[in-house]
Amino acid sequence: MGCCDFSQAKLEDESQLMRTDTSAQVAQLKAAVARVSVAPSGGGDNPRVNTLDLPPPPIYYVIVGFGPAAVMNHTTLRGANFGRRRIGNLRVMHIGFNNPWPQYVEHGMGQVPFLLTMPGFAVQPNVGGRVIDGGLHSRDFGNAINAQFAALKGAHGNDIEECRGWVAWVQHRDRQQVTPPLADFNAERQGGTELHTAIVNYINLLNARNEWPDDDEAVYRLIVVGLNQNRIPQLRAVYAAYIDFCTGPGRPNVFMPGGPDAATTALIEEARTAPWLPPEAWSADLRNRRVLNGVDAIVDQVQWNANERIMVTAGGGVGLNAAEKARNVRCFLDWIARNTLNDTFANPRNHTFLRSPNGGPMAVYELDQVAPFHDPRARYIPEPPDQRQRFGRKLKLDKLEIVAGNAGNMVAVSLDGDNRNAVIIDSTRVRLGLIDPPDPTNALNLLLNIGAGKLMLNCSVGYLQAAERLLGHASGWPSLNYDRLVIPNGQDSQALGQPIRFTEIQGIGPLTLADGRMAALQSNDQRVRMLGAACQVYNQYALASWNRGGATPRDRMWSYHSTLAVSAVPDGFILSGINIANANQFFAQKHNININTMTVDEIQAMLPALANYPANSQAVAHQIVACRHRANGYANFAALMNVVNAGQAQIPPLTVNPPANWQPGPNDGPVPALNPPLLLADAAPFAVFRYGYP
């Protein structure tokens, strides 16, 4: 196994590449440009790029990514005749940075463990996986992905290479002179313009030396940016016959507030980490930023301390993860939303955190509507009960600035809001407002005075008293200054480095299955594909563009998605796993028998043609799928049998036990003991189903 690792060095601040001090970073990047911009003839005293001194470059099957989608793709390619033919004699090179899941904050993934099984995996993530906050533990999921990749290397090690780096550009052999647009890189405050110059010079040098292999299979060239031990970009060209992008939903977004000034703009731009800098290579300055995008905030490299003040400015899954991190570390948390916290969740994922006093999910009216202050329904508590949290709606950032705090710099946050609808509630169950300017004598001010200047979250007396008890001294706890500001604004599928930016990949369109639904995207020449979330959020194919009842491949994919158990995010791993496996024709030799992902037609085809079944098999299949979607799928044989039995008025029942020769798969659990036996329409056909991928 070969390895080209650009990103392992961890250097002190003086030698870091990307600094807040732009003059230092530009100087280092210009030095990198000089290294690349050598005369085409080489020789003499001119330095040479190491990769140009190698023998004629090899040609690879490239998979961009090391995360779940990339590993699922590689696994199902190796497990299918189609995939083995596609790979042929090529070595497979993975390009990217480390699988991020083992370094995210420990959290429940929004699905019960048995739903997070992956086609073809030797050991499924849910086998032995812990449950946290109602879902599979994220660390166990991440470790299972790494274990499967290790299994692939164990079986095919001589045919697998790893390159730690970021794909900056993709070229076609017929258009070798085309370089990336400068405008794409100019937007990168942390040295993008200088890096673009280096890439253009590098491409010119490769072309001058006639670097491209004289082989029809070498259709594409990827320009990869890694970091050497001095944290300076190191460029490498990789030639590919095929490219599979498994790059996820995109780079984290950080939206600019409504009325930014120069200081605010600079802080927001710093929150957008350069895509060629992975967390494992961050300097101390990057780890200790006051303002962070949502994804950066939840990695282990960003450490928070107990009693620090955290503001999270939006809901959604990553916003929830940041709130959970603040809870786990025992920080003071202000969690607000531009609209409401509830409306950013399409499933009960946030109910693991926001709960009513009776233990159930927080009802919509409890925070999302202005209820009378005396109405007990308007009062809720987080889970577990705490005095460290406040929640707000109809609030947004206005201005930011760095100010001095007792233990270092803090970020001062000015808010804007809707004076008719903005609401703050703290965990002492007191409904609050905004105050401008802060008035410590008016801590229970319920009036909303939204005006010019710095708007602060008000505090109740109970909140202030709790802070005093926890800190051991009196503190007014101004509601303006925070140790960390987290801005989770979703992810940008069209950001620099995402497949849509590589304009030399032409004719992107659906890879369509036999039933007409889309499973992936591919280029005209079928040599480049986008798989998993990289496909499912791509431009006009995302969920937001779904035409319910439509017959396009995109619409059919999202219609199928609507039959699956609800996922933490629309483009999540349940849909990604089955789509990737189908794109690789993984089930061509053996049928999909996962009852939680089979289509209605697949389920119906598995039912027997018994005398009492032909008129009802379709109804049974639809019943199974409908109940699967409304609940968390099926955990075991008994759960499936209960659903079928519930429809016995429409299905002539036979009194039978599960067949004696039925053997459970690794995710099925034991065969249920049924006494008395269930009234079922012949349990025998259901013996072929599994409740995860075997």
| Residues in the chain, pLDDT under 50 | 1-26, 33-54, 357-358, 363-385, 419-421, 425-464, 467, 473-478, 609-614, 648-662, 664-682
At 615, is the secondary structure helix, strand, or coil? coil
171 and 26 in a common domain:
yes
541 and 394 in a common domain:
no
- Is residue 139 within 8 A of residue 102, CB to CB? The reply is yes
Report the domain count for the chain.
4
CA distance 131 to 138: 9
508 and 462 in a common domain:
no
Eight-class DSSP state of 539: G
Residue finishing a domain among 583, 615, 631: 583
478 and 365 in a common domain:
yes
453 and 519 in a common domain:
no
Residue finishing a domain among 185, 216, 245: 245
Whichever domain contains 436, its CATH number is 3.50.50.60
Q: State the pLDDT at residue 189.
A: 76
Report the run of H or E that residue 30 belongs to, with start and end. Answer: helix 22-36
Say if 254 falls within a structural domain: no
Say if 117 falls within a structural domain: no
Q: Give pLDDT tens digits for 495-546.
A: 888 888 898 888 899 999 999 999 999 999 999 999 999 999 888 898 888 9
608 and 562 in a common domain:
no
410 and 528 in a common domain:
no
Say if 631 falls within a structural domain: yes
Q: Give pLDDT tens digits for 663-686.
A: 544 444 444 443 333 344 445 556
Name the phi and psi angles at 128, rounded to 5.
80, 0
Q: State the pLDDT at residue 144.
A: 95
Q: State the pLDDT at residue 17.
A: 29
The half-sphere exposure of 424 on its side-chain side, counting CA atoms within 13 A, is 32
295 and 281 in a common domain:
yes
Q: State the pLDDT at residue 432.
A: 45
- Residue 51: other Cβ atoms inside 10 A: 17
Say if 594 falls within a structural domain: no
Q: State the pLDDT at residue 525.
A: 94
Structural domain boundaries enclosing 288: 262-487
Residue in 166, 148, 153, 150 with CA at minimum distance from that of residue 91: 153
Report the run of H or E that residue 154 belongs to, with start and end. Answer: helix 138-156
143 and 85 in a common domain:
yes
473 and 459 in a common domain:
yes
Q: Is 526 left (phi over 0), alpha (psi -120 to 50) or beta?
A: left
539 and 656 in a common domain:
no
Say if 128 falls within a structural domain: no
Residue finishing a domain among 217, 245, 273: 245
The residues pairing with 169 across neighbouring beta strands, listed in sequence order, are 223
Report the run of H or E that residue 561 belongs to, with start and end. Answer: helix 553-561
CA distance 694 to 692: 6
660 and 536 in a common domain:
no
Q: State the pLDDT at residue 506.
A: 85
User: Cα–Cα–Cα angle for 509, 515, 520, nearest 5°?
Assistant: 30
User: What would the two tokens of residue 340 be?
Assistant: 């409401």
